[in-house]
Structure 1
């Protein structure tokens, strides 16, 4: 009997409201691509029945976790979420579990493998583009350029595409095993992938909010890898 791949999604957590929150865009994107999404609570270990892991966007990561003191421009941190996502991301990479990291999720993946991030791209990276858009989340506001011989090259017909942009942090140095998949015109890393895992891809934009063919292909590739993992696991 064929069953849909089960995709665990890491939600946000509010200390003030004592609530878990998750945008329905992530859920709908997984369902549209053929998966069965479930929410992973922050105190849980990585469930053994998962076929894929989605790390979502959100607030800043504690700079102490990547060996730095906080800059004045750093935002609110979430220790519970940081600890959970670092733990489950490391476990997923070790298991070769298909994983897609979005915005903050890409940064978590990179840090887990020893990489670094800019706490504020305006201060530390000298960015020349507007990376926190004032436009609907579904609307792309700057270009990215795909690197040769990457998963995105295989997925998309064009090497240049337009994405939304909602971040003030970004990957700086790459973690072990990661390569750059795409950059923006000002040189910032916009996508990474792990060269040794079946599917471990991070993107700095929010594909779940963009209803384009290219973003659909990204989620479809993620679910295809999850289905293959499910089959191998059985």
Structure 2
């Protein structure tokens, strides 16, 4: 009798496990894609989350990554190490650059996430550049996000976790890789003695007015690049653009330029990649806006790629 009962329990347990597996499969568990913490919201941030969902993934907004070398308030604000503009000071930037992710909570924040999207946002503190610079443009900084993104980005690169970096995200990819930035494109063009017609971000019409995305073309410069594989084009037309900063020089870094926009005879870097990584793609423009506004059906290819990579990571983890 006891043997019959024991066998019944075993079969019941096996049936339960099988049922749960079938249920999970039927539910169509979607790959988890991390979105780097921001602390607030914005159109581009929300659009990035929507684009991931449209590509078949599940968006997971990651927790703030904090450096143990800095002091924080209970709600995550950095105490000290910020200047009057809200940018990270030279001292704060050095602490983050030199001690990197090892002295942070990044592993807890990312967990088992297999791919990460870094959305657009505020200017990056120039104290984080490989060669730190003074603040030349004062359009707005978020030191807490700078630290969080820098540590998360450096962790992802070291662990070869796939990255899709958009606008500010691309600039952070460049900064972590050792490049510096043009702090203001209008000023940069003026320094070259050239006019600028705000091709990369519409000129503000009045204080507080909504400034929509500008649209321009991007030339694909490398035939064997991730960009070329995803777009299958030599020229990407009418990309939504909203930036006043750009990657300056990639000399001495492992970055590769794979897309540019010719602006009054000057090349502005639009796409960078890290060929030494499985997938580390930086786009200065905003494909997530094209996805949610139905401007270009091909723009979802970037997000499908990152979702598929997250799925592959999840499959390897299960094995």
What TM-score do you get using the length of structure 1 for normalisation? 0.88
Aligned residue among 29, 32, 42 for 2:54: 32
Aligned to 2:149: 85
Secondary structure of 1:21 counterpart:
coil
CA contact (8 A) 1:98 1:229 kept: no
More deviation in 2-11 or 190-199? 2-11
Q: Distance in 2 between matches of 1:179 and 1:230?
A: 28
1:196 CA displacement:
1.1
1:74 CA displacement:
3.3
Aligned to 1:197: 277
Aligned to 1:75: 139
Question: Relative to total residues, which structure has the larger strand share, 1 or 2?
Answer: 1
CA contact (8 A) 1:11 1:40 kept: yes
Give unmatched runs, 5+ long, in structure 2: 1-24, 66-104, 204-210
1:182 CA displacement:
0.4
Aligned to 1:21: 41
Secondary structure of 1:93 counterpart:
helix
Give unmatched runs, 5+ long, in structure 1: 14-19
1:136 CA displacement:
4.3
Higher relative contact order (Cα pairs below 8 Å, separated by 6+ residues): 1
Q: Distance in 2 between matches of 1:229 and 1:96?
A: 11
Question: Relative to total residues, which structure has the larger helix share, 1 or 2?
Answer: 2
Secondary structure of 1:202 counterpart:
strand
What TM-score do you get using the length of structure 2 for normalisation? 0.66
Deviations 1:59-100 (A, max 9, x none): 1111111110111x3321111000000001111111111111
Q: Is the counterpart of residue 150 in structure 1 residue 225 in structure 2?
A: yes
Deviations 1:108-158 (A, max 9, x none): 111111111111122225574521136744xx6111101122111112232
Q: Is the counterpart of residue 177 in structure 1 residue 240 in structure 2?
A: no
Indicate the structure (1 or 2) with the bigger Cα radius of gyration: 2
Q: Distance in 1 between matches of 2:176 and 2:219?
A: 25
1:104 CA displacement:
0.2
Secondary structure of 1:115 counterpart:
coil
Aligned length: 225
Q: Distance in 1 between matches of 2:175 and 2:315?
A: 30
4+ residue runs over 6 A deviation: none
1:3 CA displacement:
3.4
More deviation in 35-44 or 107-116? 35-44
1:223 CA displacement:
1.5
Q: Show the 5 A alignment for 1:1-234.
A: 3-13=29-39, 20-22=40-42, 23-43=45-65, 45=106, 46-66=109-129, 67-71=132-136, 73-125=137-189, 126=192, 128-129=196-197, 130-133=199-202, 136-137=212-213, 141-148=215-222, 149-161=224-236, 162-174=238-250, 176-186=253-263, 187-211=267-291, 212-234=296-318
Secondary structure of 2:165 counterpart:
strand
Q: Distance in 2 between matches of 1:122 and 1:74?
A: 14
Aligned to 1:16: none
More deviation in 105-114 or 218-227? 218-227
